[in-house]
Amino acid sequence: MTTDHPSAPDQRTIGFLGLGTMGAFMAANLARAGRRVVVWNRTAAKADALVAVGAVAAQSPRVVGAACDVVVLCVTDAPQVDEVLFGDNGLAEGLAPGSLVIDCSTISPLKAQEFAGRLRALGVAFVDAPVSGGSEGARNATLTIMVGGADEDVASATPVLELLGTTITHLGPVGAGQWTKAINQVIIAGTYLGVAEGVTLGLKAGLDMTKVVAALSGGVANSWILQNRSGRMIDDDYPLGFKIALHRKDLGIALGLADQVGAVLPVTAMAAGFEDEVIAQGHGDDDNSALARSIRQRSGL
């Protein structure tokens, strides 16, 4: 007869590269959970707040790789992933065979597969795990995480991901997480656009939009964006949650994938055009809800 024993606590040291709007909160949650965390960011001062909650700052990605069993990336785009992985003093120079890279950046599925192959040649596993939930989700460790990778690699990544999010879904091989994130960005583009139009229509009609949003929140029109971003559109003030410039980058990925498979995404293309206008006006670092600027301006608000 065999007796089941609880699995040993996960004692692996975790590296974290990329301490931006999302990454800083994610790394802090790992440290606050009592994990050994080694962090790096191109702007070194951004690591100070993480050191204050118990993390250790490293001087390069290579040093992070040498010190850690698992490394999480959360950087802007595929060129940055390439740089931190394979550039001078890059992560790959320090990683030992048998270690694991979890990429929470949003990049093309094809680039995720390329990076996975290059790491696999070094004996290093790779999982793509882009996230959704905004800065609030990153802060509260309630992110939705879309995962692509081999079964055993995803199983290895899961104890780390569970410290960052509450909805973790294994969607298929490497790249599947990035495909799903592209779909996520397509859907929320339409939702942002719809909420922006509804808010603008109500403001032009002279309605109390706070009451309107409360009424709509009980019906089919309700959404996370209506709940959490309509107030910014009403006030025409867009403090950072997720940069509109980054969402536009993500829509570029989605539109490229659509061309690849022969899908037509007219609403996504329209949203991308409005975002281009907002970015050209100097608002690329505003929250993604700043998409409403274009709708308001066209309506004389």
Catalytic residue numbers? 181
Amino acid at 184: N
d(CA 250, CA 112): 14
Residues in the chain: 301
d(CA 65, CA 35): 16
Q: CA–CA distance from 230 to each of 14, 52, 139, 142, 152 (Å)?
A: 37, 34, 20, 21, 41
Burial annotation 19-52 (CB, 10 A radius, 16+ → b, else e): bbbbbbbbbbbbbeeebbbbbbbeeeebbeebee
d(CA 247, CA 253): 10
* DSSP element (H, E) containing 246: helix 244-261
> Residue 275: left if φ>0, alpha if ψ -120 to 50, beta else—which one?
alpha
Q: Which two tokens stand for residue 204?
A: 């032009």
